[in-house]
Structure 1
Amino acid sequence: MKNLTLAASLLALSAFTPPSLPVADTSAPVLANDPNTTSEVPQDNKLVIYQLLPRLFGNKVALNKPYGTILENGCGKFNDINDLALTKIKELGVSHMWYTGVLEHATMTSYPAAGLPADDADVVKGRAGSPYAVKDYYDVDPDLAVNPKNRLEEFEALVKRTHAHGLKVIIDFIPNHVARSYHSDAKPAGVVDLGAQDDKTKSFAPNNNFYYLPGQHFVVPAGYNPLGALKGPGEDGKYNEFPAKATGNDVFSAAPKLDDWFETVKLNYGVDYQNGRATHFDPVPDTWKKMRDILVYWAQKDVDGFRCDVAEMVPVEFWAYVIPEVKKVKPGIIFIGEAYNPKEYNTYLTKGHFDFLYDKVGLYDGLRRLMRQEGTTDDITHVWKEESNGFSSHMLRFLENHDEQRIASKEFATNPRRAIPAMTVAATLASGPVMLYMGQEVGEPAAGAAGFNTGDGRTTIFDYWSVPEHQKWMNHGKFDGGKLSPEQKQLRDFYARLLSLAGSSEAIRKGRFYELQDANNLGKEYDQRKLYTFLRYSKGQQVLVVVNFSDTKTYHPTVLIPDNVLQTIGLDPQRIYAYHDLLNGGEARNSLNLTLEPLSATVLEIKPR
Structure 2
Amino acid sequence: MKPAPANQTEPAKKGKPVVYQVFTRLFGNTNTNNVPWGTREENGVGKFSDFTDTALTGIKELGTTHIWYTGVPHHAIVADYTEYGISLDDPDVIKGRAGSPYAVKDYYNVNPDLADDPANRLAEFEALIERTHEHGMKVIIDIVPNHVARQYESLSAPEGVSDFGANDNTTVEYARDNNFYYVVGESFRVPEPKDNYQVLGGHPHPLADGKFDETPAKWTGNGARAAQPDQNDWYETVKVNYGVKPDGSYDFPTLPDDYAQKGVEAHAEFWRDKSLPDSWYKFRDIAFYWLDKGVDGFRYDMAEMVPVEFWSFLNSAIKMRNPDAFLLAEVYQPHLYRAYLNKGKMDYLYDKVEFYDTLKTIMQGSGKVSDLVAIQEAHGKIAPSMLHFLENHDEQRIASPDFAGDAEKGKPALVVSALISRSPTMLYFGQDVGEDGSEETGFGDPTRTTIFDYAGVPAHQRWMNDGKFDGGQLSDKERALRAFYIEVMQISASHPAMNGEFASLHASSLNNDSEYSEQQMAFVRYTGDSRLLVVTNFASQTRKLTLTVPEQLASELGLNSGTPFDALLSSDVSATVGESGQTITLELGPLESAVYEF
TM-score calculated relative to the size of structure 2? 0.91
Q: Once the two structures are aligned, what percentage of the paired residues are identical?
A: 47
TM superposition shift of 1:488: 0.5
Q: Which of 490, 497, 508 pairs up with 2:487?
A: 497
Q: Which of 339, 346, 351 pairs up with 2:338?
A: 346
- Does residue 547 of structure 1 match 2:536? yes
Does the residue aligned with 1:581 lie in a helix, a strand or coil? Answer: strand
Query: 1:67-98 CA deviation, whole Å, 9 max, x = no partner?
Result: 10001100000000110100111111111101
Which residue type is aligned with residue 520 of structure 1?
S
TM superposition shift of 1:502: 0.7
- Does residue 172 of structure 1 match 2:142? yes
Match of 1:238 in 2: 211
**Cα distance in 2 for residues equivalent to 1:243 and 1:462:** 27
**Cα distance in 2 for residues equivalent to 1:247 and 1:210:** 10
**Cα distance in 2 for residues equivalent to 1:303 and 1:278:** 32
Match of 1:212 in 2: 182
Does the residue aligned with 1:546 lie in a helix, a strand or coil? Answer: strand
TM superposition shift of 1:190: 1.2
Does the residue aligned with 1:169 lie in a helix, a strand or coil? Answer: strand
Question: Are the equivalent residues in 2 in contact too, given 1:578–1:588 (CA < 8 A)?
Answer: no
Which residue type is aligned with residue 275 of structure 1?
D
**Cα distance in 2 for residues equivalent to 1:366 and 1:139:** 39
- Does residue 125 of structure 1 match 2:95? yes
TM superposition shift of 1:566: 2.0
Query: 1:457-504 CA deviation, whole Å, 9 max, x = no partner?
Result: 000000001100100000001111111111111100000000001111
Q: Which of 344, 360, 364 pairs up with 1:368?
A: 360
Match of 1:36 in 2: none
What's the RMSD between the two structures over aligned residues? Answer: 1.6
Match of 1:16 in 2: none
Question: Are the equivalent residues in 1 in contact too, given 2:229–2:235 (CA < 8 A)?
Answer: yes
Does the residue aligned with 2:565 lie in a helix, a strand or coil? Answer: strand
Q: Superposed, which structure 2 residues align to 1:478-497 within 5 Å?
A: 478-497=468-487
Which residue type is aligned with residue 564 of structure 2?
A
Query: 1:327-385 CA deviation, whole Å, 9 max, x = no partner?
Result: 12112111101110111101000000000000001111011001111111122112112
**Cα distance in 1 for residues equivalent to 2:563 and 2:468:** 45
Question: Are the equivalent residues in 1 in contact too, given 2:46–2:114 (CA < 8 A)?
Answer: yes
Question: Are the equivalent residues in 2 in contact too, given 1:546–1:603 (CA < 8 A)?
Answer: yes
**Cα distance in 1 for residues equivalent to 2:15 and 2:337:** 21
Match of 2:55 in 1: 85
Which residue type is aligned with residue 325 of structure 1?
A
Q: Superposed, which structure 2 residues align to 1:434-583 within 5 Å?
A: 434-455=425-446, 457-508=447-498, 510-551=499-540, 553-569=541-557, 571=558, 573=559, 576-583=562-569
Match of 1:268 in 2: 241
Query: 1:153-194 CA deviation, whole Å, 9 max, x = no partner?
Result: 000000000000001111111110000000111101111211
Match of 1:184 in 2: 154
TM superposition shift of 1:604: 1.1
TM superposition shift of 1:562: 3.1
Which residue type is aligned with residue 252 of structure 1?
R
TM superposition shift of 1:113: 2.5
Between Structure 1 and Structure 2, the one with more helix by share is: 2
**Cα distance in 2 for residues equivalent to 1:523 and 1:506:** 31
Which residue type is aligned with residue 579 of structure 1?
F
Question: Are the equivalent residues in 2 in contact too, given 1:523–1:557 (CA < 8 A)?
Answer: no
Match of 2:411 in 1: 420
Question: Are the equivalent residues in 2 in contact too, given 1:430–1:513 (CA < 8 A)?
Answer: yes
Question: Are the equivalent residues in 1 in contact too, given 2:576–2:586 (CA < 8 A)?
Answer: no
Does the residue aligned with 2:331 lie in a helix, a strand or coil? Answer: coil
Question: Are the equivalent residues in 1 in contact too, given 2:573–2:586 (CA < 8 A)?
Answer: no
Q: Superposed, which structure 2 residues align to 1:580-591 within 5 Å?
A: 580-586=566-572, 589-591=575-577
Match of 1:280 in 2: 252
Which residue type is aligned with residue 236 of structure 1?
D
Q: Check 1:98–1:276 CA distance in 2 against 1; reply closer, same or farther (3 A cut).
A: closer
**Cα distance in 1 for residues equivalent to 2:374 and 2:176:** 42
- Does residue 311 of structure 1 match 2:303? yes
Match of 1:225 in 2: 198
Match of 2:268 in 1: none
Question: Are the equivalent residues in 1 in contact too, given 2:14–2:494 (CA < 8 A)?
Answer: no
Question: Are the equivalent residues in 2 in contact too, given 1:578–1:589 (CA < 8 A)?
Answer: no
Match of 1:31 in 2: none
* Unpaired runs of at least 5, structure 2: 1-6, 254-273, 578-583
Instruction: Report how many aligned residue pairs link the two structures.
Output: 559
Match of 1:143 in 2: 113
**Cα distance in 1 for residues equivalent to 2:572 and 2:518:** 28
**Cα distance in 1 for residues equivalent to 2:201 and 2:392:** 28
Which residue type is aligned with residue 463 of structure 1?
D
Q: Which of 28, 33, 44 pairs up with 1:74?
A: 44
- Does residue 46 of structure 1 match 2:32? no
Does the residue aligned with 1:137 lie in a helix, a strand or coil? Answer: strand
Question: Are the equivalent residues in 1 in contact too, given 2:516–2:546 (CA < 8 A)?
Answer: no
Which residue type is aligned with residue 485 of structure 1?
S
**Cα distance in 2 for residues equivalent to 1:293 and 1:233:** 36
TM superposition shift of 1:519: 1.8
Which residue type is aligned with residue 580 of structure 1?
D
Moved more, 280-289 or 391-400: 280-289
Query: 1:407-450 CA deviation, whole Å, 9 max, x = no partner?
Result: 00011100100011111000001011001100111111111311
Moved more, 472-481 or 224-233: 224-233
Match of 1:12 in 2: none
**Cα distance in 1 for residues equivalent to 2:191 and 2:445:** 18
Match of 1:30 in 2: none
Which residue type is aligned with residue 600 of structure 1?
E
TM superposition shift of 1:114: 1.2
Match of 2:84 in 1: 114
Moved more, 374-383 or 413-422: 374-383
TM superposition shift of 1:527: 2.9
**Cα distance in 2 for residues equivalent to 1:199 and 1:486:** 62
